[in-house]
Amino acid sequence: MFYQQKTLNCKGKLISIETPLVMGILNVTPDSFFDGGKYQNEKAILKRAEQILKEGGNIIDVGGMSSRPRAEIIDVDEELKRVIPVIEKISSTFPEAIISIDTIQSEVANKACAAGARMINDISGGTIDNAIFEAAIQNKVPYILMHIQGTPATMQNNPEYENVVLEILDYFIAKIGQLRQKEMIDIIIDPGFGFGKSVEHNYQILNKLHIFKMLEVPIMVGLSRKSMIYKVLASDAKNALNGTTALHMIALQEGARLLRVHDVKEAVETVKLWNQIDQLKD
């Protein structure tokens, strides 16, 4: 048995993770793999934020740069132009909402937190801008530490591991140790499904996700509509919701505490059904 963290301190607002949380994706990007270009005006953005909250989502994850395979890193000013007005508007319209900023840049993270974000979701694990660690510490927000091999532009160019699960575990041990030395309190880990992994790697990670519980920090998964689902099903992202739900249940059984999703209602229902089962355990 490992210690299970029960709360996250989101810039002074304490939220419970005794029941797994659902993070709804709000990409204000023109080129994300599933919803790129969908939320490009204030009306559409606020409607999406409202939908996430009404459907039971706990966190709104705002991203201004696509991290799909072969995506290039965009200019900081362009990213700021995309995300800061969105965070400000959501914060003023839904003041109780927990907003996460999905970024690899410390400047974006700092300005997003000043605008109302209460969590930092960094797909790079600080490998592109390690000042993002200080941004999380200074703003007193939880930091989502993801594993990636390479960068979005290169990560799917024949990713290789001797043992993908153990290599990611070693990565997290080293990074968490580094962050604890900096006195970071709330760390969430994300194994980075699809970020420098083959389909087989992704399923090896999912099958052994429980191993990461030994790190005694909450585990987040981002499986939603990814190619690891639709390639197996010979389908596409548009038709990957059923597969996403199936893998979400497995992730919860393996110890996931946060689900990052496009489809909030279905994820919330999956958490409720998992919770019904979990309550019956001794």
Distance CA 248, CA 191 (A): 14
Catalytic residue among 81, 260, 265, 281: 260
pLDDT value, residue 2 = 75
Which is it for strands 187-190 and 7-10: parallel, antiparallel or unpaired?
unpaired
Counting residues of the chain whose pLDDT is more than 70, the rounded percentage is 93
Classify residue 10: in a domain, yes or no.
no
pLDDT at 1 over 90: no
Catalytic residue list contains 260: yes
Q: Provide the domain count of the chain.
A: 1
Structural domain includes residue 1: no
Residue 270 is part of which domain span?
Answer: 17-278
* CATH number for the domain harbouring residue 45: 3.20.20.20
Whether 27 is covered by a domain: the verdict is yes
The reply to whether 128 falls in a domain is yes
The residue from 118, 175, 225, 226 that is catalytic is: 226
pLDDT tens readout for residues 9-24: 999 999 999 999 999 9
- CA-to-CA distance for 184 and 140, rounded, in angstroms? 8
- The predicted model scores a pTM of 0.94
**For residue 5, what are the CA distances in angstroms to 118, 190, 233, 276?**
18, 15, 35, 20
Answer yes or no: is 246 within a domain: yes
Q: Is residue 164 part of a domain?
A: yes
Query: Tell me, what's the pLDDT at 31?
Result: 59
Residue-level pLDDT at 30: 74
pLDDT single digits (tens) 45-102: 999 999 999 999 999 999 998 777 666 788 999 999 999 999 999 999 999 999 999 9
Yes or no: say if 212 and 171 are a contact pair by the CB < 8 Å rule.
no
Q: In this structure, is residue 11 part of a structural domain?
A: no
Task: Decide if 201 contacts 229 (C-beta within 8 A).
Answer: no
Is 48 a member of any domain?
yes
Beta pairing partners, 258: 21, 220
